[in-house]
Amino acid sequence: MTSTRIDYRWIATFAILVTFAVPWFLWGDSRVFAGLPLWLWWHVGWMILTAIVFHLFTREAWDRGIVGEAR
């Protein structure tokens, strides 16, 4: 895969993470699971998913777009 395609893949991945960070579709929903509102569980799960994706990003593509040597 070319570096440009990889860059676009990471941009799309982070755009999706940002887009669904706020669960608009759960606003006004009063369902509860294990004593906590469903929207709070969404945030907990989303934070875990985001942490995993960021970990993958740091291992695979942290140096994307950096040119030159460190001084």
* Tens digit of each residue's pLDDT (9 = 90 or more) over 13-44: 999 999 999 888 888 888 999 999 999 999 99
CA atoms of 7 and 46, how far apart (whole Å): 22
Tokens 């755009």 locate to 15
On whether the CB atoms of residues 71 and 13 are closer than 8 A, the answer is: no
DSSP state of 25: G
Instruction: Note the pTM of the prediction, 2 decimals.
Output: 0.76
Higher pLDDT: 61 or 46? It is 46
Q: pLDDT above 70 covers what percent of the chain?
A: 89
Contacts 24+ apart (CB under 8 A), 64-71: 64/3, 64/6, 64/7, 64/10, 65/7
